[in-house]
Structure 1
Amino acid sequence: MRRSIDGAIFLAGLTAILYTWSTAAYNGYLDVAKLDADMMERSFHQVIYGGLLVSFGPILLLAILSAIALYVYSHALLPSYIDWIRGSVKIKRKVVKVRRFWAGKRNSPPIELRAKSIFSKAALLTLFGVAYIFSLVYFERNGSQKAKDDIETHIKHENKPVQMIKVELNQKIRILKLLKCGTRNCAGIEEGTNEIYYFPSFNSFSYKIENVMPVSN
């Protein structure tokens, strides 16, 4: 029963983190692109999937760097440190003095151990909170940068054909660069005028695919 509860808490926490990361990146994009947040509202599934997409790269990079750091520590630094200590009695005494300076010689009573445990947990939670806040800032900046890049390439007329769509609005075909899609509406910016148009997500639109590689038998 306890494992089920722990698993449910972990899943809820992971969902909340992905939700906030996705929202931070999405709102960063909307803010720079000057898109209306109410018009571009997303569904829960879109938000969670967006969180997976924006966090996959940073999490994978962090895992790789952590693995490299642990490997260097366990296979290089720690063995060298142990060999260095074993090589001299004088060095051993210095290491013991340093440990006693930080940890002290006294045996802590249970009440003191509990207080230290509470401090360690509070410090760990504080560190996690600070890291979480920085992660929100990171993903929001990523979303803002993505919007800047999209607008800049559009203004410079460097849009790729696959980014362009044809949409019928008010009985007129308009060529737009698709920016974002929410649950009910999508947004695109028109070439030439640089005007942003909202249109229902259920509207039909067409786009051109180029450089499709043939499938070999």
Structure 2
Amino acid sequence: MELTIHALSHSYGDKKALTGFTHTFAPGITALLGPNGAGKSTLIHLICDLLPRQTGTIAFDGTDILSMGPAFRQVLGFMPQSQGMYDDMTAWEFLLYMAQLKGLRPRAAREQLRELLQVVNLWDAAHRRVGGFSGGMRQRVMLAQALLGAPKVLLLDEPTAGLDPEERVRLREYIRQLGRDKIVLITTHITGDVESIASEILLLHHGVLLADAPVEEFIRGCGAANLEDAYIRRLHPHA
């Protein structure tokens, strides 16, 4: 199972957001790091087909995702950074609605909802309206919807944002398990959340891929003690 991206570029008018991005993702956890405006969200949105592709290719197991159409959406799970949901729905109602959009049959959807609401520690709040949820609770609802349908490719945009330390640890360990048989791509600015679980690091800056290496190799190559230190040294080598 592979997600292969080749020579992917994207511009907003005269501003280049992504330049010649090439990488092959295999099962495991890849951390996509970079400052604001580095091109992380653009890359994620192109993989999700939320932006029109300008140049380059994206293929899943050798087939371009554009030619796959709905078949690719069946293998893709996406947790956006924005928490767009219907505030008058309960968590159960929202997730059931998302399951229907993903084409899950009612019985299978209910079974998955029971499991996922427990995984994200929201079972006791399943029948409360999401409009009254905290930011962290809404974040966990969005993670649950990304996992509906058991996707093979999982894109998590700042998954631990808004979570308290205990929730972050719990979620981090669950993501570690997901990486055993899924392609998991995480964007985050909290390097500590991925240092222990990611198998490789991709570092974007001004739309260019600056680094592509296993975590330990990246840290060692920067002469750093940890991922946060390595990240800063690689972005600001003369600081």
What interval of TM-score do these two structures reach, taking the shorter chain for normalisation? under 0.3
Q: Select the structure that is richer in helix.
A: 1
> What is the TM-score of this pair, normalised by structure 2?
0.22
Q: Which structure: larger Rg?
A: 1
Q: Select the structure that is richer in strand.
A: 2
> What is the TM-score of this pair, normalised by structure 1?
0.23
